[in-house]
Amino acid sequence: MKTQTGPKSTPISRRITAIGLSFMCALLPSACKNAFEEASIKNTNEAYLFDAKRAIDSQNYDLALEKLLALTPEFQQRRDVVGTTASAYAGRCGLNFLKLAQAITDHPNDKLFATLLSQFRYATTGKIADCKSAETTLRSLAPDNVFTSLTPDENVFLAIVSFAKIGAILGTYADVNDDGIADLIPAHTITFNACNTTILPEEMAKEIGVSMNVAVQALTASGSDIAGDSISNVSDACDAIGSSSNFCSAYSTAEIDDTMLHLVRSLIWSDDVVGVGTCGSGTNISTPACLCP
Protein backbone atom coordinates (compact mmCIF):
# COMPACT_ATOMS: atom_id res chain seq x y z
CA MET A 1 0.00 0.00 0.00
CA LYS A 2 1.30 3.41 -0.92
CA THR A 3 2.03 5.88 1.82
CA GLN A 4 0.12 9.06 1.16
CA THR A 5 1.19 12.47 2.32
CA GLY A 6 -1.23 15.24 3.18
CA PRO A 7 -2.65 17.38 0.38
CA LYS A 8 -0.64 20.40 -0.63
CA SER A 9 -2.01 23.64 0.72
CA THR A 10 -3.36 25.81 -2.09
CA PRO A 11 -5.38 29.04 -2.14
CA ILE A 12 -8.45 27.00 -3.05
CA SER A 13 -7.92 24.43 -0.29
CA ARG A 14 -7.32 27.21 2.23
CA ARG A 15 -10.55 28.88 1.07
CA ILE A 16 -12.45 25.61 1.52
CA THR A 17 -11.04 25.22 5.02
CA ALA A 18 -11.89 28.81 5.90
CA ILE A 19 -15.49 28.39 4.76
CA GLY A 20 -15.83 25.08 6.56
CA LEU A 21 -14.42 26.53 9.77
CA SER A 22 -16.66 29.57 9.53
CA PHE A 23 -19.71 27.32 9.46
CA MET A 24 -18.38 25.21 12.32
CA CYS A 25 -17.67 28.28 14.41
CA ALA A 26 -21.16 29.58 13.71
CA LEU A 27 -22.85 26.28 14.42
CA LEU A 28 -20.72 24.36 16.92
CA PRO A 29 -20.57 26.25 20.21
CA SER A 30 -18.20 23.89 22.04
CA ALA A 31 -15.65 24.24 19.25
CA CYS A 32 -15.52 28.01 18.98
CA LYS A 33 -17.13 29.86 21.89
CA ASN A 34 -18.42 29.66 25.43
CA ALA A 35 -21.91 28.47 26.24
CA PHE A 36 -24.68 30.97 25.71
CA GLU A 37 -25.96 32.53 28.88
CA GLU A 38 -29.45 31.90 27.54
CA ALA A 39 -28.80 28.15 27.67
CA SER A 40 -29.52 28.20 31.38
CA ILE A 41 -33.05 29.40 30.62
CA LYS A 42 -35.10 26.41 29.52
CA ASN A 43 -37.86 26.44 26.94
CA THR A 44 -36.77 29.61 25.17
CA ASN A 45 -35.85 30.00 21.52
CA GLU A 46 -32.27 30.80 22.51
CA ALA A 47 -32.03 27.71 24.70
CA TYR A 48 -33.44 25.45 21.98
CA LEU A 49 -31.01 26.94 19.46
CA PHE A 50 -28.08 26.42 21.80
CA ASP A 51 -29.12 22.81 22.40
CA ALA A 52 -29.46 22.28 18.64
CA LYS A 53 -25.95 23.58 18.00
CA ARG A 54 -24.58 21.41 20.76
CA ALA A 55 -26.36 18.40 19.24
CA ILE A 56 -24.81 19.17 15.84
CA ASP A 57 -21.44 19.36 17.58
CA SER A 58 -22.09 15.81 18.81
CA GLN A 59 -23.39 14.73 15.38
CA ASN A 60 -26.78 14.02 16.93
CA TYR A 61 -28.72 15.44 14.03
CA ASP A 62 -32.06 13.96 15.04
CA LEU A 63 -31.93 15.80 18.36
CA ALA A 64 -30.73 18.98 16.66
CA LEU A 65 -33.68 18.97 14.29
CA GLU A 66 -36.07 18.21 17.13
CA LYS A 67 -34.85 21.33 18.93
CA LEU A 68 -34.87 23.47 15.78
CA LEU A 69 -38.40 22.45 14.86
CA ALA A 70 -39.50 23.44 18.37
CA LEU A 71 -38.55 27.06 17.70
CA THR A 72 -41.27 29.59 17.03
CA PRO A 73 -41.99 30.15 13.30
CA GLU A 74 -40.61 33.68 13.41
CA PHE A 75 -37.39 32.58 15.10
CA GLN A 76 -36.93 29.76 12.57
CA GLN A 77 -36.75 32.37 9.81
CA ARG A 78 -33.79 34.15 11.37
CA ARG A 79 -30.87 33.95 8.95
CA ASP A 80 -28.46 32.21 11.31
CA VAL A 81 -31.17 29.74 12.33
CA VAL A 82 -31.84 28.90 8.68
CA GLY A 83 -28.14 28.11 8.28
CA THR A 84 -28.13 25.98 11.41
CA THR A 85 -31.21 24.05 10.27
CA ALA A 86 -29.69 23.44 6.85
CA SER A 87 -26.51 22.19 8.50
CA ALA A 88 -28.46 19.73 10.64
CA TYR A 89 -30.24 18.30 7.61
CA ALA A 90 -26.96 18.23 5.67
CA GLY A 91 -25.23 16.37 8.48
CA ARG A 92 -28.01 13.81 8.64
CA CYS A 93 -27.84 13.32 4.88
CA GLY A 94 -24.19 12.35 5.24
CA LEU A 95 -22.49 15.53 4.06
CA ASN A 96 -18.97 16.20 5.27
CA PHE A 97 -18.51 19.70 3.87
CA LEU A 98 -14.72 19.86 3.89
CA LYS A 99 -14.27 16.32 2.56
CA LEU A 100 -16.69 16.74 -0.33
CA ALA A 101 -15.44 20.21 -1.31
CA GLN A 102 -11.85 18.99 -1.21
CA ALA A 103 -12.69 15.88 -3.26
CA ILE A 104 -14.24 18.03 -5.99
CA THR A 105 -11.37 20.51 -5.98
CA ASP A 106 -8.56 17.95 -5.80
CA HIS A 107 -9.87 15.86 -8.71
CA PRO A 108 -10.79 18.38 -11.42
CA ASN A 109 -10.13 15.87 -14.20
CA ASP A 110 -12.36 13.16 -12.74
CA LYS A 111 -15.98 12.78 -13.76
CA LEU A 112 -17.99 15.09 -11.53
CA PHE A 113 -20.86 12.68 -10.93
CA ALA A 114 -18.45 9.81 -10.26
CA THR A 115 -16.70 11.93 -7.64
CA LEU A 116 -20.01 12.82 -5.99
CA LEU A 117 -21.16 9.19 -6.02
CA SER A 118 -17.91 8.02 -4.42
CA GLN A 119 -18.53 10.28 -1.42
CA PHE A 120 -21.97 8.79 -0.70
CA ARG A 121 -21.52 5.07 -0.26
CA TYR A 122 -24.40 3.54 1.71
CA ALA A 123 -26.74 6.35 0.67
CA THR A 124 -30.46 5.77 1.14
CA THR A 125 -33.71 7.42 0.13
CA GLY A 126 -33.84 8.87 3.63
CA LYS A 127 -30.49 10.58 3.12
CA ILE A 128 -31.69 11.92 -0.22
CA ALA A 129 -34.68 13.47 1.55
CA ASP A 130 -32.41 15.09 4.13
CA CYS A 131 -30.09 16.50 1.45
CA LYS A 132 -33.14 17.92 -0.31
CA SER A 133 -34.38 19.46 2.95
CA ALA A 134 -30.98 21.09 3.47
CA GLU A 135 -31.04 22.47 -0.07
CA THR A 136 -34.63 23.71 0.25
CA THR A 137 -33.88 25.34 3.60
CA LEU A 138 -30.90 27.26 2.24
CA ARG A 139 -32.80 28.26 -0.88
CA SER A 140 -35.44 29.88 1.33
CA LEU A 141 -32.90 32.70 1.77
CA ALA A 142 -33.21 33.37 -1.98
CA PRO A 143 -36.91 32.69 -2.69
CA ASP A 144 -36.72 34.36 -6.12
CA ASN A 145 -33.65 32.31 -7.09
CA VAL A 146 -31.51 35.44 -7.08
CA PHE A 147 -28.46 33.90 -5.48
CA THR A 148 -26.59 37.19 -5.36
CA SER A 149 -28.79 37.92 -2.33
CA LEU A 150 -26.84 35.23 -0.46
CA THR A 151 -23.39 35.80 1.00
CA PRO A 152 -20.46 34.15 -0.82
CA ASP A 153 -20.11 31.55 1.93
CA GLU A 154 -23.84 30.80 1.88
CA ASN A 155 -23.65 30.26 -1.87
CA VAL A 156 -20.69 27.90 -1.56
CA PHE A 157 -22.51 25.97 1.16
CA LEU A 158 -25.63 25.78 -1.02
CA ALA A 159 -23.61 24.50 -3.97
CA ILE A 160 -21.95 21.80 -1.88
CA VAL A 161 -25.33 20.76 -0.46
CA SER A 162 -26.73 20.51 -4.01
CA PHE A 163 -23.74 18.40 -5.02
CA ALA A 164 -24.38 16.24 -1.95
CA LYS A 165 -27.96 15.65 -3.05
CA ILE A 166 -26.75 14.50 -6.47
CA GLY A 167 -24.21 12.23 -4.77
CA ALA A 168 -26.84 10.74 -2.48
CA ILE A 169 -29.18 10.04 -5.41
CA LEU A 170 -26.44 8.37 -7.44
CA GLY A 171 -25.18 6.51 -4.39
CA THR A 172 -28.67 5.12 -3.81
CA TYR A 173 -29.61 4.17 -7.36
CA ALA A 174 -26.31 3.76 -9.24
CA ASP A 175 -24.28 2.01 -6.53
CA VAL A 176 -26.43 -0.78 -5.15
CA ASN A 177 -23.43 -2.75 -3.86
CA ASP A 178 -22.08 0.30 -2.00
CA ASP A 179 -18.50 0.22 -3.28
CA GLY A 180 -18.42 3.88 -4.29
CA ILE A 181 -18.48 3.08 -8.02
CA ALA A 182 -21.44 3.01 -10.41
CA ASP A 183 -22.71 -0.51 -11.09
CA LEU A 184 -22.00 -0.66 -14.80
CA ILE A 185 -20.97 -4.27 -15.42
CA PRO A 186 -23.28 -7.30 -15.75
CA ALA A 187 -21.73 -8.93 -12.66
CA HIS A 188 -23.73 -6.60 -10.46
CA THR A 189 -27.20 -7.61 -9.33
CA ILE A 190 -28.62 -4.48 -10.94
CA THR A 191 -26.59 -2.83 -13.69
CA PHE A 192 -27.08 0.92 -13.57
CA ASN A 193 -28.52 2.58 -16.64
CA ALA A 194 -29.53 6.23 -16.33
CA CYS A 195 -31.87 5.83 -19.30
CA ASN A 196 -33.89 3.14 -17.51
CA THR A 197 -36.84 4.68 -15.68
CA THR A 198 -37.14 1.65 -13.41
CA ILE A 199 -33.54 1.86 -12.24
CA LEU A 200 -33.44 5.68 -11.94
CA PRO A 201 -36.94 6.97 -11.08
CA GLU A 202 -38.26 10.02 -12.91
CA GLU A 203 -38.41 12.25 -9.85
CA MET A 204 -34.82 11.43 -8.89
CA ALA A 205 -33.52 12.25 -12.38
CA LYS A 206 -35.37 15.57 -12.21
CA GLU A 207 -33.85 16.32 -8.80
CA ILE A 208 -30.38 15.84 -10.28
CA GLY A 209 -31.21 18.33 -13.03
CA VAL A 210 -32.43 20.92 -10.53
CA SER A 211 -29.44 20.52 -8.23
CA MET A 212 -27.01 20.83 -11.12
CA ASN A 213 -28.50 24.20 -12.00
CA VAL A 214 -28.62 25.38 -8.39
CA ALA A 215 -24.97 24.41 -7.84
CA VAL A 216 -23.84 26.21 -10.99
CA GLN A 217 -25.80 29.37 -10.20
CA ALA A 218 -24.75 29.43 -6.54
CA LEU A 219 -21.05 29.03 -7.29
CA THR A 220 -21.25 31.62 -10.05
CA ALA A 221 -22.87 34.09 -7.64
CA SER A 222 -20.28 33.31 -4.96
CA GLY A 223 -17.40 34.36 -7.16
CA SER A 224 -15.52 31.34 -5.88
CA ASP A 225 -13.27 29.17 -7.99
CA ILE A 226 -13.99 26.11 -5.87
CA ALA A 227 -14.91 23.29 -8.27
CA GLY A 228 -14.20 25.67 -11.13
CA ASP A 229 -13.29 22.99 -13.66
CA SER A 230 -16.26 20.82 -12.72
CA ILE A 231 -18.65 23.75 -12.99
CA SER A 232 -17.17 24.67 -16.37
CA ASN A 233 -17.81 21.13 -17.53
CA VAL A 234 -21.45 21.31 -16.46
CA SER A 235 -21.83 24.73 -18.10
CA ASP A 236 -20.26 23.41 -21.29
CA ALA A 237 -22.74 20.54 -21.29
CA CYS A 238 -25.59 23.03 -20.90
CA ASP A 239 -24.22 25.08 -23.78
CA ALA A 240 -24.04 21.93 -25.91
CA ILE A 241 -27.72 21.29 -25.25
CA GLY A 242 -28.68 24.78 -26.39
CA SER A 243 -31.51 26.99 -25.21
CA SER A 244 -34.31 24.72 -26.38
CA SER A 245 -35.51 22.50 -23.53
CA ASN A 246 -32.43 23.29 -21.47
CA PHE A 247 -32.85 21.90 -17.95
CA CYS A 248 -29.94 24.09 -16.82
CA SER A 249 -32.42 26.90 -16.20
CA ALA A 250 -34.86 24.80 -14.12
CA TYR A 251 -35.22 25.58 -10.43
CA SER A 252 -37.89 22.98 -9.63
CA THR A 253 -38.77 19.48 -10.80
CA ALA A 254 -42.11 20.82 -12.05
CA GLU A 255 -40.22 22.90 -14.65
CA ILE A 256 -38.50 19.87 -16.17
CA ASP A 257 -40.57 18.53 -19.05
CA ASP A 258 -40.12 15.19 -20.82
CA THR A 259 -37.53 16.54 -23.24
CA MET A 260 -35.49 18.10 -20.45
CA LEU A 261 -35.73 14.88 -18.46
CA HIS A 262 -34.44 12.93 -21.44
CA LEU A 263 -31.43 15.25 -21.59
CA VAL A 264 -30.77 14.97 -17.85
CA ARG A 265 -30.67 11.19 -18.15
CA SER A 266 -28.42 11.46 -21.20
CA LEU A 267 -25.97 13.69 -19.33
CA ILE A 268 -25.81 11.26 -16.41
CA TRP A 269 -25.24 8.44 -18.90
CA SER A 270 -22.54 10.30 -20.84
CA ASP A 271 -18.97 9.06 -20.75
CA ASP A 272 -17.27 12.41 -20.35
CA VAL A 273 -16.04 14.48 -17.41
CA VAL A 274 -19.57 14.83 -16.03
CA GLY A 275 -21.43 11.53 -16.38
CA VAL A 276 -21.02 8.02 -14.98
CA GLY A 277 -22.18 6.05 -18.03
CA THR A 278 -20.60 3.96 -20.76
CA CYS A 279 -22.32 5.34 -23.82
CA GLY A 280 -19.03 5.51 -25.70
CA SER A 281 -15.45 6.32 -24.86
CA GLY A 282 -15.05 10.06 -24.45
CA THR A 283 -18.44 10.91 -25.90
CA ASN A 284 -20.74 13.49 -24.35
CA ILE A 285 -24.26 14.78 -24.51
CA SER A 286 -23.58 16.72 -27.71
CA THR A 287 -23.13 13.46 -29.64
CA PRO A 288 -25.93 11.03 -30.60
CA ALA A 289 -24.12 8.15 -28.89
CA CYS A 290 -24.95 9.58 -25.48
CA LEU A 291 -28.62 10.37 -26.01
CA CYS A 292 -30.93 7.99 -24.22
CA PRO A 293 -33.16 6.07 -26.66
Global pTM value: 0.83
pLDDT score of 30: 47
pLDDT score of 4: 45
pLDDT, mean of residues 95-100: 94
Closest CA relative to residue 164, chosen from 258, 252, 265, 96:
96
Taking 90 as the threshold, does the pLDDT of residue 136 lie above it?
yes
Which of the pair, 186 or 256, is modelled with greater confidence?
A: 256
Average pLDDT of every residue of the chain:
83
Q: How confident is the model at residue 183 (pLDDT cuts 50, 70, 90)?
A: confident
Q: How far apart are CA 50 and CA 277, in angstroms?
A: 45
With a CB cutoff of 8 Å and minimum separation 6, the contacts of 87 are: 23, 27, 56, 134
User: What are the structural domain ranges in the chain?
Assistant: 10-92, 96-293
pLDDT score of 259: 86
Q: How far apart are CA 201 and CA 253, in angstroms?
A: 13
Closest CA relative to residue 91, chosen from 175, 160, 16:
160
Q: How far apart are CA 24 and CA 265, in angstroms?
A: 36
pLDDT, mean of residues 53-81: 97
pLDDT score of 36: 47
Contact assessment for residue 44 and residue 55, using Cβ atoms and an 8 Å cutoff: no
* pLDDT tens sequence across 203-254: 999 999 999 999 989 998 998 777 666 677 667 666 666 555 677 889 999 9
pLDDT score of 267: 84
Q: How far apart are CA 132 and CA 13, in angstroms?
A: 26
pLDDT score of 2: 42
- Vertex 67, ends 63 and 71: CA angle to 5°? 165
